[in-house]
């Protein structure tokens, strides 16, 4: 049986933990709204660009297509670009992303492919290093970025495209969380490079004039498309992080409340027991006289 | 009649309005877009997009960097990576 003082200290410590989780929950809720708005604001650009890409890519095909669309022609070396968060306290979000990345890696390795990792964000580093220490190609640090901005996505995309053009890998996949709601964030894998040909291209019968020609426009457009995709992934990551954090901290706050109630009952019981014992001692003493 | 003009950046929809004419700094020279322009697609060099709200009015200048313009049935859409207001 813990002493009264110990119990009292324990209650105090749980209470201060609860204060922290409560504050973090409220901060996450406020940030979530902002992150969601940012993700929504970015959608028109991505949609337009995807539409234009689709109609152009269907016109330019075969050997004249740019490298980013055509690919290296090989299917051996795969790069997994894994987007994790930089901060913890967001429940199982990072664990889920890493799980998805490892699943993809296992699948590709089972098919006899070479797999390397390109990590974005801090929290994926340790768990992936544990299993695939030798396969981590590069770690991109985003921890000093407060809000996802396009320049950051640009830098990552430029780096990836440069590596692709040097022939360091054949196919790149992007693993990132898709924000569904504060309760659900699904880790998703999409092919990043070479840019997958869009499946349903809207048949455009209008004679569109291009300046400069289709190929040059496409060449200009493809890196931009990759940047947009990475930017989208960063925005989704931000929203997912805040959503997951809000849910996790809400749970933590509730658990702390339950623990405090339990400890308070225990504390009161022991206090009463102590008083009863004292009384018995006094009465026994008085009777002995 | 007016031309529907949209200016979009990765972070937000900057403009979506009906205007008289827009002059876009295309990669191969500036071009003006009026209502009913034929379908057209061009890359945009860094420069100034001039928006004429009404005929003869003083243009509003918007600096864009890294972009792309598309003229379709729905009007003119400029996708720019950066816009300086």
Give the CATH number for residue A177: 3.40.1380.10
Give the chain A residue whose CA is nearest to the CA of B45.
A220
Question: Quick check: B8 and A48 CB within 8 A?
Answer: yes
Closest to A119 (Cα-Cα) out of A169, A167, A160, A69: A160
A37 near B CB under 8 A: no
Q: Note whether A263 and A187 are same-domain residues.
A: no
Residue B82: closest C-alpha in chain A: A150
d(C-alpha A120, C-alpha A84), whole Å:
6
Sort strands B75-84 and B3-8 into parallel, antiparallel or unpaired.
Answer: parallel
Rounded Cα–Cα distance for residues A169 and A152 (Å): 22
Distance from CA of B67 to the nearest CA of A (A): 9
Q: How confident is the model at residue A1 (pLDDT cuts 50, 70, 90)?
A: low
The predicted model gives B61-73 an average pLDDT of 87
What is the distance of C-alpha A268 from the center of its chain?
Answer: 44
Largest CA distance in chain B: 32
Q: In what order do the strands lie in the sheet with A171-179?
A: A136-140, A114-120, A77-83, A171-179, A185-193
> Contacts of residue A41 in chain B, CB cutoff 8 Å?
11-13
Q: What is the 3-state secondary structure (H, E, C) of B42-60?
A: EEECCEEEEEECCCCCCCE
Q: How confident is the model at residue A59 (pLDDT cuts 50, 70, 90)?
A: confident
Looking at residue A200, its pLDDT comes to: 56
Instruction: Say how many C-beta atoms besides its own lie within 10 A of residue A63's C-beta.
Output: 5
Query: Which domain does A16 fall in, by range?
Result: 4-22+249-288
Same domain, yes or no, for A134 and A191? yes
β strands within chain A, DSSP E: 77-83, 114-120, 136-140, 171-179, 185-193, 209-211
A209, A210, A231 ranked by CB distance to B10: nearest = A231
A87 and A217 together in one domain: yes
pLDDT tens readout for residues A189-242: 988 888 876 665 555 555 778 877 878 888 888 888 888 889 989 999 999 999
| Contact at CB, A150 and B81, closer than 8 angstroms | yes
Q: Which of A265, A278, A277, A272 is nearest to A10 (CA)?
A: A265
**A162 and A97 both lie in a single domain:** yes
Query: Is B39 close to A49, i.e. CB distance below 8 A?
Result: no
Domain span including residue B40:
3-84
Predicted TM-score (pTM) of the model is 0.84
Q: How far is A238 from chain B (nearest CA, A)?
A: 14
A224 interfaces chain B, CB cutoff of 8 Å: yes
- For B48, the token pair is 């100034």
Q: Are A21 and A253 in contact (CB under 8 A)?
A: yes
Q: Residue A259 belongs to a domain with what CATH number?
A: 1.10.287.80
DSSP three-state, residue A39: helix
Distance CA A191, CA A240 (A): 20
CATH number of the structural domain spanning residue B71: 2.60.15.10
Select the residue of A150, A208, A228 nearest B39 (Cβ to Cβ): A208
Distance (Å) from the alpha carbon of B46 to chain A's nearest alpha carbon: 14
Q: Identify the residue among A55, A204, A208 best suited for mutation to test binding to B, counting B beta carbons within 10 A and taking the highest.
A: A208
Tokens of A138: 């590069």
Same domain, A265 and A195: no
Distance in Å, alpha carbon of B83 to nearest chain A alpha carbon: 12
Nearest-CA residue of chain B relative to A147? B11
* A79 plus A118 within the same structural domain: yes
Predicted confidence (pLDDT) at residue A28 exceeds the cutoff of 90: yes
The dihedral built from the CA positions of residue A17, A22, A28 and A32, taken in this order, carries a sign that is positive
Q: pLDDT by residue (tens digit) across A249-277? A: 999 999 999 999 999 999 999 999 999 99
| Alpha-carbon span A106 to A235, nearest angstrom | 27
- Cβ contact (<8 Å) for A224 and B68? yes
For an interface test with B, give the residue of A34, A38, A52 to mutate (most B CBs within 10 A): A52
Total tally of structural domains belonging to chain A: 2
As annotated, the active-site residues of A are: 90
Indicate the number of domains in chain B.
1
Do both A45 and A107 map to the same domain? Answer: yes
CA distance B7 to B24: 11
pLDDT band at A167 (very low <50, low <70, confident <90, very high): confident
DSSP class of residue A71 equals -
């Amino acid at each position: 049986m813990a002493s009264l003082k110990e119990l009292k200290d324990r209650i105090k410590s749980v209470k201060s933990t609860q204060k922290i989780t409560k504050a973090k929950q409220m901060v996450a809720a406020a940030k979530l709204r902002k992150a969601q708005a940012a993700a929504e604001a970015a959608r028109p650009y991505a949609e337009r660009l995807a539409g234009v890409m689709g109609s152009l890519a269907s016109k330019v095909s075969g050997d004249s297509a740019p490298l980013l669309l055509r690919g290296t022609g090989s299917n051996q070396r795969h790069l997994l670009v894994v987007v994790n968060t930089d901060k913890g306290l967001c429940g199982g979000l990072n664990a889920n992303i890493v799980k998805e990345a490892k699943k993809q890696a296992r699948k590709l390795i089972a098919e006899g492919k070479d797999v390397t990792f390109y990590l974005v964000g801090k929290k994926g580093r340790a768990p992936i290093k544990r299993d695939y220490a030798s396969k981590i190609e590069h770690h991109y640090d985003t921890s000093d970025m407060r809000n996802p901005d396009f320049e950051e996505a640009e830098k990552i995309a430029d780096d990836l495209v440069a590596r692709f053009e040097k022939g360091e890998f054949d196919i790149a996949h992007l693993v990132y969380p898709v924000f569904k709601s504060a309760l659900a964030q699904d880790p998703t894998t999409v092919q990043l490079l070479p840019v997958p040909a869009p499946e349903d291209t809207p048949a455009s019968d209008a004679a569109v004039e291009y300046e400069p020609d289709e190929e040059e426009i496409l060449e200009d457009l493809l890196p931009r498309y990759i940047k947009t995709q990475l930017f989208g992934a960063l925005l989704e990551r931000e929203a997912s992080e805040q959503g997951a954090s809000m849910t996790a901290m809400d749970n933590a706050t509730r658990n702390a409340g339950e623990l405090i109630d339990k400890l308070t009952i225990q504390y009161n019981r022991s206090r009463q027991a102590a008083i009863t014992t004292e009384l018995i001692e006094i009465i026994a003493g008085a009777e002995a006289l | 009649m007016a031309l529907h003009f949209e200016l979009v950046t990765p972070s937000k929809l900057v403009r979506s309005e009906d205007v008289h004419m827009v002059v876009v700094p295309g990669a191969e020279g500036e071009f003006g877009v009026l209502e009913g322009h034929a379908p057209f697609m061009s890359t945009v060099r860094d420069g100034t997009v001039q928006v004429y709200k009404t005929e003869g009015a003083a243009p509003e200048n918007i600096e864009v960097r890294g972009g792309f313009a598309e003229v379709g049935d729905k009007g003119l859409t400029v996708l720019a990576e950066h816009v300086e207001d």
